[in-house]
């Protein structure tokens, strides 16, 4: 999923200085919650299952500024 998200951001022309960056990290302290995406500086954490979830996070949160409630972690 990391590779897919990075590819999608690049294809959209959003990976540039001051724009979006997709990085890998280790546990980040939430390993028990499955795969995690952290959006900074918004401090919103998401979980995901498939490409459709990744697309929804990119489209809704990054592009439209709307949090994806169904994927948010508390």
Q: Encode pLDDT of 7-45 as tens digits.
A: 999 999 988 888 898 999 888 888 888 899 999 999 999
pLDDT of residue 31: 83
Show the domain range for 53: 2-71
Tracing tokens 């590819």 back to the chain, one arrives at 7
Name the H helices within the chain.
2-11, 51-56, 64
pLDDT of residue 26: 87
CA 26, 66, 69, 51 torsion: positive or negative?
negative
pLDDT of residue 17: 81
Q: Which residue has the higher pLDDT, 72 or 30?
A: 72
Q: How many domains, the chain?
A: 1
pLDDT of residue 38: 94
């Amino acid at each position: 999923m990391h590779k897919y998200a990075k590819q999608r951001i690049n294809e959209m022309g959003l990976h540039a200085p001051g724009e979006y960056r997709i990085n890998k990290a280790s546990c980040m302290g939430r390993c028990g919650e499955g795969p995690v995406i952290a959006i900074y500086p918004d401090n919103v954490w998401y979980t995901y299952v498939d490409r459709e979830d990744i697309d929804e996070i990119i489209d809704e949160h990054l592009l439209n500024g709307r949090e994806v409630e169904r994927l948010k972690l508390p």
